[in-house]
A and B are shown apart, each in its own frame.
Chain A
Amino acid sequence: MAMPRAKGVAALLAFVLAVTACSSGSTPSPSSGSSGAAASGAGASGAGGSGSPAASGSGGASGGTAISASGELNVMGFDCTKGDDIALNRIKEFKSKFPDVTLKCTEGGLNDQQFLTAVRSGSPPDLIYMDRGKIGTFASQGAIQPMDDCVSKAGIDMSNFRDAAVKQVTFDSKVYGIPEFFNVVVLVINNKVLKEAGVSPDDVDTSKWDALKAANLKLLKKSGNKITRLGFDPKLPEFLPLWAKINGVDLISADGKTSNLDDPKVAEALTFARDLIQAHGKAADFFAARDSLSADFFGAGNPIAKDVLGAFPIEQFFLNVMADTSPNVDITVKAPKTKDGQDISYATGLTWAVPEGAKNKDAACAMAATMTSKDTWVAASKARADKRKADKKPYTGTFTGNKAADAEIFGTLVDLSAMPQFDAAVKATVAVSDKAFAMPAVAGGADFEKAWRDAVNKVLNEGADPAQALKDADATAQQALDAGGG
């Protein structure tokens, strides 16, 4: 009698194990949170109706139509609890304006795979925080939706944002994102190294290629085969679009439909930038030296502080790094110039976007509008400026992408009078911000970028002829643009 019972128990156990094996990880957990959120959402409406000014607070972009929001807001790509002070203070601002919105954020940056799978499976977040460069790819895949309704509902004035940023979030004549942050490329020049090498900062000028070539040769230093100091680092492959623009051509047509990679001016720009690298020796030696000399890029041992780099183009965030970790560096910062002498820069940044199928679009719109509004930026920047002052550290400003916010931040909050070089650097950066260009939002943008990066890598590492490599890449890139990334 005992045996069959034991077998019965074992059979039951096996069955439970089988069922567990089937279900583990495959069944979505019941969203207790969402029911809670629904309840909170209901309460929120009540609160809103009770006259709380915050419950229907203005999106605040430009004092347009008010937007009301409540309920649960799922955000992906923006860490609401572990970000820096600028992020956390803006979240605080949003929460104070929309107390009836329950904010739920994923940790860490946006994971494309996680996001697109969520969209595909019908459970997308309500709002994502993403790289502006991917707007075209996501929009063409139907993963995000136009935000024109949000723009008009929340009274967001897109002309408040920098042109290059707006261009990056506009796809097929529709606005797909509310931009924030504006990283522009500037030339950072190490005066100490230049003096030692007998080079004038005027010679580090991207419009005078012969002078720059000669300066590079004087600035670089070698000990036997070992490179001990980089001269001028052109930052390839990532800044090829900038070098092409300096030479008067865009990698892609303004409408995003035609690849210009086979334009002889692109090949000429790539050849020049490659030669700056090869003046140091083989590209492999240059990159190995760059890796080792820049090992502490974000710390006090950054290559400018260590005097192991003459000059390079770099996003303006590096000014913050130096002001924070090595404020005594002797630098000149200026805008890159086109060959005909015009200031130019290359911009990148982030954006808020609403996924296709988002359930709480009003709250998503409210958050995007609030986070990017002038008032929010200024409040968060003021908090940072005060904190930096208390810590006896300089505040070099926040490049928000919102022109009005930038004007107030750099006009009233940034005071670098005690650090004249950083003061001049920040002023030069602000001045070039309006002259910056960005890659347009295009379908197949990821494949287009892969094609030109591949060409640059072939030229640098495999000795390919620039014109031929770019011609080959152009065919691949055009195919990608025509296929729209499919």
Chain B
Amino acid sequence: MTAATAPAPGRLTRLSQDLRRSETRWAFLFLLPWIVGFVIFTAGPMIASLVLSFTNLSLRKNFDFIGTANYERLINDQRVGLALGNTAYFTILHVPLSMAFALLLALMLLRVGRSAGFFRTVFYLPTITPAVAVGALWLLLLNGQAGLINQALGLFGINGPNWTTDPTWIKPGLVLMSLWALGSTVVIYFAALRNVPLELYEAARVDGASSWQQFRNITLPMISGALFFTLIVNTIASLQVFDQVYTMYFGQPNATAGDRAALFYVVHLFNEAFVSFRMGYASALAWLLFIIIMVITFIQIRLSKRWVYYEND
């Protein structure tokens, strides 16, 4: 009987010994504000939303537990499929393109020497511009008839599409807009590039490696940790894209093409929660997204072992 529970005391003893150490106690004490904040403002609401996802809470006075009805409704809700498809489309286009462009910009920053600080600020500015302002601005830029993007394309003899009114082009237009605000990713890549030891390049040059070979065999492996981090963060952000899309296509009551073509998952979730006030159903939608993100992140972490290089490996 006691043998079955025997291994546990070892770990508990170690923890209790740790806690008896003064530094550990102080560490926990200083962590307390964050821990309390996390429990109350993150973990608590998450658990609450999980419970709510099994209810029909809709801002009416009372609610009932309805079992898995909200999750069954997810399967039959055509707009869930539409929103997931739109979100996946955006993510698949946005993540690789944003990483490639950010890396390109970071590589260019590396070569501008003393002006790097200025350009870093310039690249970062769009990131801190309010999303609503960005959305409104891009509606004008992307207008099919009078927008600057199509006017610029016209200079090259290209008849630009209706980015904001043609369902086929709405998502590519949004990807284009998303590439404008790459500041955070550029700064991360820039820092990672500066940490690559120059001796490696010198040795490669002595061995006759071309620029591409240096980039492929030195730069990419050495910054793979940063690439992996931004891959995960950008994927999650893309799956949760909301503010600019909402401003552009759902802020006005008489939206036309964007109503379906720009219906991203979090937009649908927001509409269910705060327009239709089906809080229980919206909670189920939120948990579905959480599970999707968790699975994708898990796969990314598993695959990262094949291509991410850590110095202490």
Chains A and B come from one and the same complex: yes
Interface residues of A (CB under 8 A from B): 7, 10-11, 14-15, 17-18, 20-22, 26, 112-113, 116-117, 119-120, 141-143, 225-227, 236-238, 282-289, 291-293, 295, 446-447, 453-454, 457-458, 460-462, 485-486
Please give the distance in Å from A432's CB to the nearest CB on chain B: 22
Q: Which residue of A is nearest B57, CB measured? A: A120
User: What are 10 residue pairs bridging A and B, where the CB atoms are less than 8 Å apart in the complex?
Assistant: A10-B26, A113-B274, A236-B256, A284-B162, A284-B169, A285-B162, A286-B165, A446-B275, A462-B167, A486-B56
Contacts of A447 in B (CB 8 A): 276
Is there an interface contact between A288 and B165, defined as CB atoms closer than 8 Å? yes
Contact A292 B276 (CB under 8 A): no
Question: Does B32 sit within 8 A of A, measured CB to CB?
Answer: yes
Shortest distance from the beta carbon of B48 to any chain A beta carbon, whole Å: 14
* Nearest neighbor of A239 in chain B, beta-carbon distance: B254
Whether the pair A284, B260 counts as a contact (CB closer than 8 A) is no
**CB atoms of B261 and A461 under 8 A apart:** yes
Q: Count of chain B residues with Cβ under 8 Å from any Cβ of A?
A: 39
Q: B39-65 interface mask toward A, CB cutoff 8 Å, 1 = contact, 0 = none?
A: 010000000000000001011110000
Query: Is the CB–CB distance between A457 and B259 below 8 Å?
Result: yes
Given contacts A22-B37, A446-B276, contact A454 B259 (CB under 8 A): yes
A451 to B256, CA, bound (A): 13
By a CB distance below 8 angstroms, the chain B residues around A283 are: 165, 256-257
Task: Output the least CB separation between B82 and chain A (Å).
Answer: 10
What are the residues of chain A within 8 A of B162 when measuring CB–CB? 282, 284-285, 287-288
**Total A-B contacts with CB atoms under 8 angstroms apart:** 117
Contact, CB under 8 Å: A292 / B33: no
Which of the listed residues B30, B36, B60, B139 has the most CB atoms from chain A within 10 Å of its own CB?
A: B60
Q: Judge whether A457 and B256 touch: CB under 8 Å.
A: yes
B244 within 8 A of A: no
CB contact between B166 and one of A10, A284, A291, A485 (< 8 Å): that residue: A284
> Chain B residue with minimal CB distance to A457?
B259
Docked complex Cα distance between A347 and B162 (Å): 33
Within 8 A of A (CB), among B122-173: 139, 143-147, 159, 162, 164-167, 169
Query: How far is A315 from B61 in the complex, measured between Cα atoms in Å?
Result: 37
Which listed residue, B29, B37, B60, B278, touches A11 by the CB 8 Å rule? B29
Asked if A237 and B254 make an inter-chain contact with CB atoms under 8 angstroms apart, the answer reads: yes
A125 to chain B, nearest CB (A): 15
Within 8 Å of chain A (Cβ to Cβ): is B253?
A: yes
Cβ of A463 to closest chain B Cβ, rounded Å: 10
Chain B, 253-309, CB within 8 A of any chain A CB:
253-254, 256-257, 259-261, 274-278
Those of B1-52 within 8 Å (CB) of chain A: 26, 29-30, 32-34, 36-37, 40
Q: Which residues of B contact A286 (CB under 8 A)?
A: 165
Tell me, in angstroms, the Cα distance from A287 to B142 when the chains sit together. 13
10 new A-B contacts, CB < 8 A, other than A292-B144, A485-B276, A486-B278, are: A10-B30, A21-B34, A21-B37, A21-B40, A141-B58, A283-B257, A288-B164, A447-B276, A458-B260, A462-B260
CB of B260 within 8 A of CB of A238, answer: no
Cβ contact of B260, chosen from A26, A287, A289, A457, cutoff 8 A: A457
- Return chain B residues, CB-CB under 8 Å to A120: 59
User: Which A residues lie within 8 Å of B147 (CB)?
Assistant: 292
A18 touches B164 (CB 8 A): no
10 closest Cβ pairs, A-B complex: A288-B144, A284-B166, A287-B165, A292-B146, A284-B162, A17-B33, A292-B145, A284-B165, A21-B37, A288-B162
State the majority secondary structure of interface residues on A.
helix
Cβ contact within 8 Å between B164 and A116: no
Rounded to whole angstroms, the CA-CA distance of A10 and B32 in the bound complex is: 12
Separation of A10 and B146 alpha carbons in the complex (Å): 61
Closest-CB distance, B250 to chain A (whole angstroms): 12
Q: Which of B153-202 contact A (CB under 8 A)?
A: 159, 162, 164-167, 169
B259: A residues at CB distance < 8 A = 453-454, 457
Distance between Cα atoms of A78 and B58 in the complex (Å) = 25
The B210-254 residues at the A interface (CB cut-off 8 A) are: 253-254
- Among B37, B139, B256, B278, max chain A CB count under 10 A is at B256
Chain A residues with CB under 8 Å of B260's CB are 454, 457-458, 461-462
Q: Is the CB of B60 within 8 A of A142?
A: yes
Which residues in A have their C-beta under 8 angstroms from that of B56? 486
Residue of B with least CB distance to A24: B37
Do residues A291 and B164 form an inter-chain contact, with CB atoms below 8 A?
yes
| Cα A14 to Cα B33 with chains together (Å) | 7
Docked-complex contact A461 and B167, CB < 8 angstroms:
yes
Contacts of A293 in B (CB 8 A): 145
Could you tell me the distance in whole angstroms from the C-beta of B269 to the nearest C-beta in chain A? Answer: 14
In the complex, the answer to whether B165 meets A291 with C-beta atoms within 8 Å is yes
A225 and B159: CB pair below 8 A?
yes
Report how far A454 CA is from B274 CA in the complex, Å.
19
CA distance A145 to B298 in the complex (A): 50
Contact A287 B275, beta carbon cutoff 8 Å: no
Identity of the chain A residue whose Cβ is nearest the Cβ of B261 in the assembled complex: A461
